A and B are shown apart, each in its own frame.
Chain A
Amino acid sequence: DVKVTQSSRYLVKRTGEKVFLECVQDMDHENMFWYRQDPGLGLRLIYFSYDVKMKEKGDIPEGYSVSREKKERFSLILESASTNQTSMYLCASSFGGPRDEQYFGPGTRLTVT
């Protein structure tokens, strides 16, 4: 079974802190994605990566950065957390290609106070 794991299920941080969210997949997938999930808005893509050290902005990249130094690991970084970044963050991965499926991690619920 494909497994996508995220470093924390729940996280509480203070405004201005630097926050790292980690995601690891064990299926040698090429693509990895970071989404945020908010009620009434569904999932919105923050960043994705199609290879090591490669990244592309999604729909809402402002206030976030990412790092992919190894194929299996994709990190989301909040340089200076703000209260409007309180949300559920979901990581996903996929092989790529026309018939791929995205596999999701369990999510990290981040609260910024």
Chain B
Amino acid sequence: GDSVTQMEGPVTLSEEAFLTINCTYTATGYPSLFWYVQYPGEGLQLLLKATKADDKGSNKGFEATYRKETTSFHLEKGSVQVSDSAVYFCALRKLGGNKLVFGAGTILRVKS
């Protein structure tokens, strides 16, 4: 079945460090790919998405590129802030479907 694998956390970084959170997927066809973020005490918010190969999603300084050849959608940010501390979820949705399949989530802690 379809699945999403994320790097295990927690990831602990100092402010202004470079961030990469790895995400790979297994799915038939051409799914859409998403990154959601969950700040402490809140629900999930869509951070960015990509709907086809080589698309780059970006938002709030975060970026991820849909790589079909490596079935990956790694999240990157050039300079993290303390306010980026949250749980990040990678997810996929199959073409024409309504359901999201989520990875296990990666906790990010940014220290000042």
**Residue from A41, A96, A106 within 8 A of B42 (CB atoms):** A106
Chain B positions within 8 Å of A, measured between CB atoms, are 4, 32, 36, 41-46, 49, 51, 89, 95-96, 98-100, 102-105
Q: Which residues of B contact A101 (CB under 8 A)?
A: 46, 49
The answer on a CB contact under 8 Å between B103 and A42 is yes
Specify the chain A residue showing the minimal Cβ separation from B44.
Answer: A104
Q: Which residues of B contact A98 (CB under 8 A)?
A: 32, 51, 95-96
Decide yes or no: A99 and B98 within 8 Å by CB, A4-B43, A42-B104, A106-B41 being known contacts. no
Give Cα A42–Cα B107 distance, bound, in whole angstroms: 11
A residues 77-101 touching B (CB-CB < 8 Å): 90, 92, 94, 96, 98-101
Give Cα A4–Cα B43 distance, bound, in whole angstroms: 10
Q: Which residues of B contact A107 (CB under 8 A)?
A: 42-43
Number of A-B residue pairs at CB separation under 8 A: 49
Specify the chain A residue showing the minimal Cβ separation from B42.
Answer: A106
Chain A positions within 8 Å of B, measured between CB atoms, are 4, 31, 33, 40-45, 48, 50, 58, 90, 92, 94, 96, 98-102, 104-107
Q: Which residues of B contact A31 (CB under 8 A)?
A: 98
Q: Which residues of A contact B51 (CB under 8 A)?
A: 98-99
The answer on a CB contact under 8 Å between A50 and B104 is no
The answer on a CB contact under 8 Å between B98 and A94 is yes
Q: Which residues of A contact B89 (CB under 8 A)?
A: 42-43
Q: Which residues of A contact B49 (CB under 8 A)?
A: 101
Give Cα A41–Cα B89 distance, bound, in whole angstroms: 11
CB A95 to nearest CB in B, in angstroms, measures 10
The answer on a CB contact under 8 Å between A42 and B102 is yes
Specify the chain A residue showing the minimal Cβ separation from B45.
Answer: A104
Give Cα A4–Cα B99 distance, bound, in whole angstroms: 18
Apart from A90-B44, A96-B98, A106-B41: 10 A-B pairs, beta carbons within 8 A? A42-B103, A43-B102, A45-B99, A92-B44, A94-B98, A98-B51, A100-B98, A105-B43, A106-B42, A107-B42
